[in-house]
Structure 1
């Protein structure tokens, strides 16, 4: 019983602030890195518009970037198993 209580005390309580709850739509990501961190800019590029604003910037350690890669890979496999293969659109890749 005490072990279960310790596990409950050690669980991370995720808090979603109301101003973030709606999320941000992005259709482009630019990724850069240095030896100590990865920087991901999420961008919304509207058709016909000359500028594309960064709607969110995420900075993380290389270790956490790799964890994100594994989580995305796993979730894309699950998505494709349920809904079918995601076919990349023809065009230039950002990076």
Structure 2
């Protein structure tokens, strides 16, 4: 079986709106999936509040999620190399 030829590299110009560039602070994420998609909900939970709101939802396919996971793991390893290990408590929350 012959390899599929790779398309030529085309420079990608990425634009970002001001509101998106400012970002959103989140402290919780929920991950769900079907056979063909992963849904990532990013949430900010305020202390002592019974409700929280999804601030952003990302829907992607399994291959893209696996690439994202690899990029996150690589970035986290570099962070810990520079700043020291991030220690989590038994319940998974960061220790202070």
Bin the TM-score by the shorter chain: 0.7 to 0.9
Q: Which has the higher helix share?
A: 1
* Partner residue, 2:4: none
TM-score relative to the length of structure 2: 0.83
The answer to whether 1:36 aligns with 2:40 is no
Measure, in 2, the Cα distance between the counterparts of 1:42 and 1:71. 18
Segments of 4+ moved more than 6 angstroms: none
Number of aligned pairs? 86
Q: 1:18 to 1:56 in 2, by over 3 A?
A: same
Measure, in 2, the Cα distance between the counterparts of 1:92 and 1:12. 38
* Partner residue, 1:56: 56
* Partner residue, 2:18: 18
TM-score relative to the length of structure 1: 0.84
Cα distance per residue 1:33-77 (max 9 Å; x no partner) = 001100000000111001011010000010000000000000000
**Structure 1: unaligned runs, 5 residues or longer:** 1-5
* Partner residue, 1:27: 27
Measure, in 1, the Cα distance between the counterparts of 2:56 and 2:64. 17
For CA contacts below 8 A with separation 6 or more, give which structure has more relative contact order: 1
